Amino acid sequence: MTAQPTNLSGLDLRAEIDRLRIERKAVILAHYYQKPEIQDLADFVGDSLELSRKAAATDAEVIAFCGVRFMAETAKILSPEKIVVLPDMDAGCSLEDSCPPDQFAAFRAQHPDHIALTYINCSTEVKALSDVIVTSSSAETILAKIPPEQKIIFGPDRHLGGYLNRKFGRDMLLWPGVCIVHEAFSETELLKLKAQHPDAPIAAHPECPAHIVDHADYVGSTSGILNYAKAMTGDTLIVATEPHIIHQMQLAMPGKTFIGAPGADGNCNCNICPYMALNTLEKLYLALRDLTPRVEIEETLRLDAKKSLDAMLAMASGTVGQGDLGRP
Ligand code: SF4
């Protein structure tokens, strides 16, 4: 059940969250797609792989996960002894929704000679049906370790899978899921923006469709895009991913200009993730105060899902902070 904001007027939410963080021995983890006010008070801000590793390594008693449900579930899978709270349990993901476990199991059964390499943006049940999980920052490293003759099912993001197929000459079978946020970028509007800023490179997340990725100077995870921005010599970057990542760029590089890639209406509002946006300071405060809504996972399911996550963490060793899928 999601904690419902009651009358919190008069409360200094930031001070209260700081007090509860100490009182509960809690760590606050936030994804780059969270609102700036949440990023600013988090103990750690990162991408899915970095947050998974933090969740596995923390000695906190409570993990307050500011992201979406599959991320909080991943934290619980890796740290079952900890209390994991998600400010809003309705914070789902279109990729997760696109891949119902029963349909994925049937698809696997049709291809018994394929292993399942699965993007972390999926349910715990689908993780349990998979062999190796990948994130956008670990996919390249992991795929390179799988022999070319091995047949692979890749799900649920067909754009990330297609990008990897094109880049590495693989022929992975793709599950037809998409991220509604990255799907919304407009090629026409992107090219108009590029014409206004001809010297600005384009950095794109591989969840974007090929018609966006094909125009990118750099393709990579959120942390990869952040590192690319830090390393670039120019002063302007066009960013084709969820625009809240720009907050970390502005903090790290106040002298540079970051422009969110546009959607079909010419602005980037349609590229704000509606699931990530459900988390608020009020809900985070209530989650820490009441230790609810909590993520709970049945133990057999957790252990089955943990195998594919452990495989990722072992195979991705050394990739944290690089976040780099390279240039297409
Ligand atoms: S940005 Fe896309 S992939 Fe990420 S949580 Fe939102 S809907 Fe899912």
Q: Are 126 and 101 in contact (CB under 8 A)?
A: yes
Residues 103 and 155 reside in one and the same domain: yes
8 Å CB contact between 234 and 200: yes
In the chain, what are the helix, strand and coil shares in percent, each to the nearest 5? 45, 15, 40
With the C-alpha atoms ordered 198, 204, 209, 210, is the resulting torsion angle positive or negative?
positive
Helix (H) or strand (E) segment spanning residue 84 = strand 83-85
By CB atoms closer than 10 A (0-12, 13-18, 19+), residue 300 is exposed
pLDDT tens per residue across span 115-157: 999 999 999 999 999 999 999 989 999 999 999 999 999 999 9
116 contacts 129 by C-beta, under 8 angstroms:
yes
Atom from ligand 1 closest to the CA of residue 179 = 2
Q: Determine the pLDDT at residue 144.
A: 95
Which of 256, 271, 286 terminates a domain? The answer is 271
How confident is the model over 68-79, as pLDDT tens digits?
999 999 999 999
* One domain for residues 212 and 265: yes
Please tell me the predicted confidence (pLDDT) of residue 321.
34
Q: How many domains does the chain have?
A: 3
Same domain, 136 and 208: no
Report pLDDT for 6.
Answer: 64
Question: Which backbone phi and psi does 136 adopt, to 5 degrees?
Answer: -70, -20
| 3 domain residue, yes or no | no
Q: If pLDDT is split at 50, 70 and 90, which confidence band does 194 have?
A: very high
- Assess whether 127 and 140 both reside in one domain: yes
For the cut 80, the answer to whether the pLDDT of residue 184 exceeds it is yes
Instruction: Assess if residue 144 is contained within a domain.
Output: yes
Has residue 7 been placed in a domain? Answer: no
| Residue 24: strand, helix, or coil | coil
CATH assignment of the domain containing 112: 3.40.50.10800
| Identity of the residue numbered 211 | H
Evaluate if residue 52 carries a pLDDT over 80: no
Residue nearest to atom 5 of ligand 1 (CA): 93
Same domain, 153 and 208: no
Residue-averaged pLDDT of the chain: 92
Residues 168 and 101 in one domain: yes
Q: Of 71, 94, 222, which is best to mutate to test ligand 1, by the most ligand atoms within 8 angstroms of its C-beta?
A: 94
Closest CA to ligand 1's atom 6: 273
Domain membership of residue 32 (yes or no) is yes
DSSP 8-class letter at 185: B
Residue 4 lies in a domain: no
Q: Which residues line ligand 1 (CB under 6 A)?
A: 33, 68, 93-95, 121, 179-181, 207, 242, 273, 275-276
Q: Are residues 316 and 167 in the same domain?
A: yes
Mean pLDDT is lowest, of 148-157, 159-168, 249-258, 310-319, for 310-319
The answer on 74 and 54 residing in a single domain is yes
In a domain, 21, yes or no: yes
151: number of Cβ within 10 Å: 13
Residues 190 and 152 in one domain: no
CA separation for the pair 313, 89 (Å, rounded): 26
Residue 294: name the closest of 13, 149, 129, 88 by CA: 88
Residue 29 lies in a domain: yes
Looking at the domain assignment, is residue 5 inside a domain?
A: no
CA angle 11, 15, 17 (to 5 degrees): 95
Long-range contacts of 164-171 (CB under 8 A, 24+ apart): 164/139, 164/140, 164/206, 164/325, 166/210, 166/328, 167/140, 167/325, 167/326, 167/328, 168/140, 168/143, 168/144, 170/143
Q: Tell whether 171 and 246 lie within a shared domain.
A: no
Range of the domain at 21: 13-92+276-297
- Same domain assignment for residues 86 and 102: no
Give distance in angstroms: CA of 267 to centre of ligand 1: 18
Q: Are residues 30 and 50 in the same domain?
A: yes
Q: How far is the CA of 46 from the centre of ligand 1 (A)?
A: 15
Q: What is the amino acid identity at position 267?
A: N
Is 260's pLDDT higher than 80?
yes
Candidates 32, 205, 275: which one to mutate for ligand 1, based on the most atoms within 8 Å of Cβ? 275
Ligand 1 atom with minimal separation from the 207 CA: 3
pLDDT band at 56 (very low <50, low <70, confident <90, very high): confident
